[in-house]
Structure 1
């Protein structure tokens, strides 16, 4: 969706061009969505290895399955509330995702 905003603000050719310091700014919601996207990518770097390690050691419990589902939905919620500009809910959604990752990390050591 923020690419659509970029096309609206800069035009189609401007949206497809290389970024420049002189580009017109995005709408506030689009800027927040880009930050949320960056944050999701940064957290995927933590989440993916945890899941791959658990897959490699062939360890799956109801806790690990639930943690993956909770992580996914917390990231969806994080994107939505970040885009809407709701800082307290954004922090809550991030924290829920963090604890889901913590459960996965504990599962590697077969604590959960």
Structure 2
């Protein structure tokens, strides 16, 4: 049996995080205190995804989920491309691990409000650099 590359295991965990990061938003929406929603909110407002009308942490939970999708999908595709060209190296190993933990830190920091300027953008920048490294690995493997 072939070994399962760590990068694909990390990618699996990352996609499970992305698939689960809607939970804080839904919990926040469904636990809104009475009177916290606009008086003129239409019936069924809770089910309408308009985070701008919710508490700040609920708004941040919505954005944390979107941010993970914005960066996680390109990263996932790059990891799959590196796998396709058989380009996994020590660099891709550590890049995948770093990307996962950066995204966990970003989500926690964003939702809690702890990661403010300049920390949150720096974490996002770190994730972008991980994407660039994976992109480099695709091309480096193709040149060998």
Partner of 2:102: 74
- Whichever structure has more helix as a proportion of its residues is 1
Q: Contact conserved, 2:68 with 2:103, CA < 8 A, in 1? A: yes
Partner of 2:31: 8
Match of 1:43 among 54, 71, 74: 71
Distance 1:88-1:100 versus aligned 2 partners, 3 A rule? same
Distance 1:65-1:87 versus aligned 2 partners, 3 A rule? same
Q: Unmatched 5+ residue regions in structure 1?
A: none
Q: Contact conserved, 2:82 with 2:137, CA < 8 A, in 1? A: yes
Residue-by-residue CA offset, 1:61-98 (whole Å, 9 max, x unaligned): 01001111111111111112212332311011111111
TM, length-normalised to structure 2: 0.65
Q: Kindly report structure 1 stretches of 4+ aligned residues shifted beyond 3 Å.
A: none
Partner of 1:105: 135
TM, length-normalised to structure 1: 0.82
